[in-house]
Chains A and B, each alone.
Chain A
Amino acid sequence: MRRLTPYLLALPSWMWLAIFLVVPMVAMASVSLQTGNAIDGFAMTFSFSNYTEAIGRYSTQLARSLLYGALATVAMLVIGYPVAYFIAFKAGARKSMYLFLLLLPFFVSFVLRTISWNFLLADNGILFGTLKGWGLLPADFHVLATTVAVVGGLTYNFLPFMILPIYVALERVDPRVVEAAQDLYATRAAAFRRVVLPLSLPGVFAGVLMTFVPATADPINAAILGGTSNTMIGNIIQTAYLTNLDYPTASALSFTLMAVLLVGIFIYARALGTENVLEAAAR
């Protein structure tokens, strides 16, 4: 019976993933090798050149997406870790209140959040307009329609997905262990580095997985906050699919993106090197 336990636990998710993810993915893999157009139909021609052509044509956007995704992930880690640390060790009975408050803005539609950000960050809006009025910023300073805005938007939108898993991993660390370590190692920094950080690594790994991957594939932030040269691969896939009805290119790009992300995550797991994490990731 106990040997069966993991299979029984995994069964419902397996069914869900098999029917609703694997079957469509097989179909998509097939489409990615076809040629034709939406009006006359597509036929299977095993055109692997769909991949080379798509990658060749959109390598800039692909590389840019990885860069933006990585930058945003690092920013989220730096910004989010202290918050997770505070909630896990210092928030006492209010832990869930803080977590909830962090997530609450995301219960309200992204359209409203976007409209509000555009209001707040307008070139001559309440923030920059005022600063410009005081002469603290040059008149043509702007944040919207820049790379900073896109990476900032990604950071903003996925931050809770970094904080929550780190918190979850930290929360089970007994504060007394930390205190003991502080007594042992004398400095807080050393105690953190040798005791807390290693224990939180599975959470960090989960956080990176849950932010880097969707941030890299995200089309919304680049579309709303970007300028004339911030297009990401998600936008390209969207256009190929919806406007051009070029299903093979859209499918080929999606698989390419998935493969690249998988390699990226694998390298990251390797670099992190902790056995624990590797186990969690690659098992």
Chain B
Amino acid sequence: MNPLMRGMTQPRTRRDVFRLAGFSAAGLALAACGVQGQKAAPPKADAVADYWAKQKKNGKVVFANWPEYMPEDKGPLEKFKKDTGIAYEYKEVIQENAEFFGKADPVLRAGQSLGYDIVVMTNGIQLQHMIELGYAVPLDHSKLPNFDANAGQKYKERSYDPGNKYTVPYTSGVTGIAYNTKYVKDEITSIESLFDPKYKGRVGMMADAQEIANFGMIALGIDPEKSTEADWNKAGEKLKAQRDAGIVRKYYDQSYIDAVSKGDVWLTMAWSGDVFQRQLAGEPVKFVVPAEGGTIWTDNMLIPKGAANPVDALMLMDYLYQPAVAAELDEYIQYVTPVPAVQDLLREKAKTAKGEDKKALEDMVDSPLMFPSEADYAKLRNYTQLTTQQEQVFNPIFQSITQA
């Protein structure tokens, strides 16, 4: 019986009635006290060990992810089930980081469980809040042998979670510049093109405060990861000048990709995976990591506080780091995998494949958008890490530009 029918047909128990009555009391309580803060102290090493010592394998795991982030046949999860005997529930319930966090916050704050053992979030303000508020369970690295052996070095040194204390990468992407070759005849190499009056009204910038701030700073030769308040102000001024000169058409969410492939904007800040898909569809778009640098972002797996099956969750996280499994995932997702060995595996597969599949696989293997070279990586910067106090300065600077 599905939950809807169950909810409607089951008789209300006495507890439910009390619950309804409790609502008004709850509302008053909400009104009376403020919202409790929960800043988490960094976990002590033995506390982590204690936590994991108490957990045991339960034979099931609930994985919350974004839609279209797992092959339709759920191949990797089926293999996991076969190899470990752990049953899985896979839920495509995450649509947007901010909304996901907005929804998770009150639940976790109240000490309740989200009902998921693994969730996937992009590094950025919301993930940082998850970690700061103690909503992420510290990981036991002794149970992550595949991760240790197969994850690329870059994915073990991420400033938002040093030492992978709380998260391991699911997939990554690069923020750079995309341009429509039908309208832009020059080769774009520099971030300055985004500020070039020649493209007045034809430039797309991202609405996300972090993303746009990064590009403002990179254009000024500042490494976002090491930036200060003075740097943010300078970047803000540069971006404001760009806006006031009418160069920017719009501050986009992901819809920038439609805009650039149709030619509404000619060049724009862009995420690598989006552009790669458009290229496969034969659209005249090109992606470049600017000479001055671009940024790398990562969608990360973490175990939320109160998860019922943390051991099984950790096993699944680690399982996805087997090169063969990672290859199967990446072939479907088409972003950057944290497991470098995947490139060779896909190359092998391309050799035996035929026709269209062969072509598609070869395109993937050769694409710098899925497998960035060392030179590409060298140009990639990380996001700015902000404390809550800093955030209250940082956000208004850039939001006053994107939301005027």
Q: Which positions in A face B, CB cutoff 8 Å?
A: 19, 23-24, 26-27, 29-31, 34, 36-44, 60-61, 115, 118-119, 122-125, 140, 142, 144-145, 223-224, 226-229, 231, 235-236, 239, 241-245, 247
Contact = CB atoms under 8 A, between A and B. Distances in A.
B39 A39 contact: yes
A19 B24 CA distance: 7
Contacts of B102: 241-242
Given A122-B262, A227-B249, A243-B209, 12 more contacts: A19-B20, A19-B24, A27-B27, A27-B31, A38-B35, A38-B388, A44-B33, A115-B258, A118-B258, A228-B248, A235-B403, A244-B391
Contact of A224 (B33, B99, B201, B255): B255
A100 to B, nearest CB: 25
B18 interface: no
B255 A118 contact: yes
Contact of A37 (B243, B388, B404): B388
Contacts of B36: 41
Interface string B177-213: 0000000000000000000000001000000010000
B38 interface: yes
B21 to A, nearest CB: 10
B99 A242 contact: yes
B108 to A, nearest CB: 12
Nearest to A41: B37
Interface of B: 20, 23-24, 26-28, 30-39, 98-99, 101-102, 105, 125, 129, 132-133, 201, 209, 243, 248-251, 253, 255, 258-259, 262-264, 388, 391-392, 395, 399, 403-404
Given A124-B263, A228-B248, A245-B129, A30 B31 contact: yes
A244 B395 contact: yes
Nearest to A125: B262
Contacts of B31: 26-27, 29-30
A42 B24 contact: no
B209 A39 contact: no
Contacts of A31: 34-35
Nearest to B37: A41
A231 B34 contact: no
In the A-B complex, list the 7 residue pairs whose CB atoms are closest, starting with the nearest. A41-B37, A23-B27, A242-B98, A27-B30, A30-B31, A40-B37, A42-B34
B246 to A, nearest CB: 8
B18 to A, nearest CB: 14
23 contacts: A19-B23, A23-B23, A23-B26, A26-B27, A30-B32, A38-B388, A60-B404, A118-B255, A119-B262, A122-B264, A123-B263, A123-B264, A124-B262, A124-B263, A144-B250, A224-B255, A228-B250, A239-B403, A242-B101, A243-B209, A244-B395, A245-B105, A247-B35
A131 to B, nearest CB: 15
A34 B99 contact: no
User: Which of B24, B264, B399 has the most chain A CB atoms inside 10 A of its CB?
Assistant: B264
A39 B249 contact: no
A26 to B, nearest CB: 5
B404 A231 contact: yes
Contacts of A39: 37-39, 129, 132-133, 388
A194 B26 CA distance: 54
Contacts of A245: 105, 129
A228 B205 CA distance: 10
Nearest to A142: B264
Contacts of A231: 403-404
A244 B395 CA distance: 7
B250 A41 contact: no
Nearest to A43: B34
Contacts of B101: 242
A40 B387 CA distance: 12
B23 A144 contact: no
B38 A226 contact: no
A243 B201 CA distance: 27
Most B Cβ at <10 Å: residue of A38, A42, A43, A226: A38
